[in-house]
Amino acid sequence: MKKPAWLLMSLMLVLSMFLAACSGGGKTNTTESPKDGTKGTEKEEVKNEGPVQGGDLVIGSTGAPTMFNSLFSNDASSSDIEDMIFSSLMGSDLEFNPVTEGGLAETFEASEDGKEFTIKIVENAKFHDGEPLDADDVVFTYNIPLSPDYDGVRKSYFENIEKVEKIDQYTVKFTLKQVDVQFPVVSLGFGILPEHILKDVPIAEMGEHEFNTKNPIGSGPFKFSEWKDGEYVKVVANDDYFDGRPYLDSVTYKLVPDANAILAQLQAGDIDYYPGIAQPDVPTVEGFADAAGLRLESGLALSYTYLAFNQRDDKFKDKKVRQAITHAIDRKAIVENVMAGLGEVAHVPESPLSWAYNPDVPKFEYDVEKAKKMLEEAGWKPGADGILEKDGKKFSVEVKTNQGNKVREDIVVILQQQLKEVGIEIKPQIVEFSSLIADIDPGVWNFEAIVLGWSLGVDPDPSGIFHTKEIEKGLNFTGYSNPEIDVLMDEQLKELDKNKRKEMIGKIQALLAEDQPYTFLYYPKEFRALPKNLEGYEFHPKDQMYNIEKWWLKPE
């Protein structure tokens, strides 16, 4: 997971598109050298159909970013923009394998015991202020989450690091306390920060430093230009990017209040790229795509959507109650009616796209009568108004979800209808995205239940969300804890044999399915609208902006 999954939380709503004039389907593309530096005329480039530079890609999003520092942020919108501004040591390919391509690592060597990693970084990387990036910056960056003063939510991704050493100006060595198989693809995917700017900032204060919001300086393909709160974030091409200037002149991350407004702006040509089209809206977009100069790309996303319970609340501490709630929800009907059939019912917190996906887990099919019986066995009896009661308290639950996501807004209404059948009162709460994220922050936990989605990491380790150690300062915001699963999650990270590890993760998934810390709702099929003439684009199930530095507009 190049980021988190972040919390990835995924809630992933990103949109984009190319503007004409300053946008617009590439009509204003200027003729420039291709990335390899070869000079050429416009006529020659059109003839050869090679990449050209130019254009402003306007991406639409209903979720506003919170900051630009991957060690501290925990939302997908921030992550999208961080990917453009910062460079990491390693990346991942379309099969989720760790690769040096596109990363700062020129070479990557692992010791036979899996505990040491020696990385030589490229020698021509520079930060956006012109200062060179070298081993000192890597050592500086990775020592931040190793500090006891670090209070970000990513600590677990680095806890197995024993030390990070500078071997020479462009070589670093990571030594782990124990084998950590997710380390290359996850832990080495965080953006490298500039030591010369942040070295005097106390780590305890770094998460709140203005660098993260007003002037983030990285070494990525795009440079931060402007953040107009509530309107947009703009980045511009980095002419000195170590892997070659991106083809786009700039990218505008446009913030739009809701999905309906995004569709209207897609049709009008005010947004060029939107990867979060709600499944019920697919026919609508297909209807105007040709006229608007758009095409659709689709595939199963590396994510799932869920109903999560705050297990600090007595109502949700009994797993029989959680199982009963899942029995009371017709997830097939949600997929068919809300998702227009464009998804699959979920049973575990891992995508069917993953090599570690286990389909043979306990399943809680739609069965209202069984749900009623289980709730009765758990001590919940109908009150005079039909709402279940126990110890003088009603089974009434406030369910939050994020504003602007039409599918999730519809789901909470359906939950209200379906759970009423078993005597549970649901009170939907539609909350602005950044406020919702703040409600689940460590130590806040201001929710009873919540409908959200996780953008999964490219490694199938589930520890970041379900391990007990992630409750206080990590992403386990529900407070779920199972010591048996904790042990298994720790052990699978030490297993270098992929087949054995798959068996271990499969067992974890079965136990999580049995415990139902969430009702796993569905795996969505994702639809992305983009300009017809956008070239260099590849559909990545997780990364909606995969290799954006290679995207270009073909002149029409």
For residue 383, pLDDT over 80 is answered with yes
Helix (H, G, I), strand (E, B) or coil at 431: strand
130-187 confidence digits (pLDDT tens): 999 999 999 999 999 999 999 887 888 898 999 999 999 999 999 999 999 989 988 9
Residues 346 and 428 placed together within one structural domain of the fold: yes
CATH number at residue 258: 3.40.190.10
Confidence class for position 48, pLDDT limits 50, 70, 90? low
Residues 324 and 272 placed together within one structural domain of the fold: no
pTM confidence score: 0.77
Residues 398 and 444 placed together within one structural domain of the fold: yes
Confidence class for position 74, pLDDT limits 50, 70, 90? confident
Q: Is residue 181, in this structure, part of any structural domain at all? A: yes
Q: Is residue 444, in this structure, part of any structural domain at all? A: yes
Residue written as token pair 């501004």? 85
Q: Is residue 215, in this structure, part of any structural domain at all? A: no
Average confidence (pLDDT) over 68-89: 93
Q: Of 150, 175, 204, which residue constitutes the final position of a domain?
A: 204
* Mean pLDDT, all residues of the chain: 89
- CA dist 223 and 201 (Å) reads 22
Residues 550 and 451 placed together within one structural domain of the fold: no
Residues 81 and 96 placed together within one structural domain of the fold: no
Residues 108 and 186 placed together within one structural domain of the fold: yes
CATH number at residue 183: 3.90.76.10
Q: Is residue 10, in this structure, part of any structural domain at all? A: no
Q: Is residue 132, in this structure, part of any structural domain at all? A: yes
98-139 confidence digits (pLDDT tens): 899 889 999 999 999 999 999 999 999 999 999 999 999 999
Q: What is the pLDDT of residue 542?
A: 84
Residue written as token pair 């980021």? 3
Q: Is residue 256, in this structure, part of any structural domain at all? A: yes
Q: What is the pLDDT of residue 47?
A: 55
Runs of H (alpha helix) within 399-520? 406-420, 433-439, 463-466, 483-492, 498-515
Residues 448 and 349 placed together within one structural domain of the fold: yes
Residues 388 and 451 placed together within one structural domain of the fold: yes
Specify which residues 4 forms β-bridges with.
6
Residues 425 and 521 placed together within one structural domain of the fold: yes
CATH number at residue 421: 3.10.105.10
Residues 172 and 183 placed together within one structural domain of the fold: yes
Confidence class for position 417, pLDDT limits 50, 70, 90? very high
225-281 confidence digits (pLDDT tens): 999 999 999 999 999 999 999 999 999 999 998 888 999 999 999 999 999 898 889
Total domains in the fold of the chain: 3
- CA dist 371 and 376 (Å) reads 9
Q: Is residue 298, in this structure, part of any structural domain at all? A: no
Residue written as token pair 């073909």? 554
454-495 confidence digits (pLDDT tens): 988 888 999 989 999 999 988 899 999 999 999 999 999 999
Q: Of 164, 179, 204, which residue constitutes the final position of a domain?
A: 204
Residues 332 and 436 placed together within one structural domain of the fold: yes
Q: Is residue 47, in this structure, part of any structural domain at all? A: no
For residue 13, pLDDT over 90 is answered with no
Q: What is the pLDDT of residue 556?
A: 80
Of the candidates 354, 347, 306, the one whose C-alpha atom is nearest the C-alpha of residue 465 is 306
| Residue 191: DSSP 8-state | B
Domain of residue 513 covers: 303-525
- CA dist 149 and 132 (Å) reads 27
Residues 516 and 391 placed together within one structural domain of the fold: yes
- CA dist 222 and 206 (Å) reads 23
* Residue 274 phi, psi dihedral angles, 5° rounding: -140, 110
* Residue 314 phi, psi dihedral angles, 5° rounding: -55, -30
Q: Are strands 396-402 and 425-431 parallel, antiparallel or unpaired?
A: parallel
- CA dist 456 and 315 (Å) reads 28
Cβ(8)–Cβ(1) below 8 Å: yes
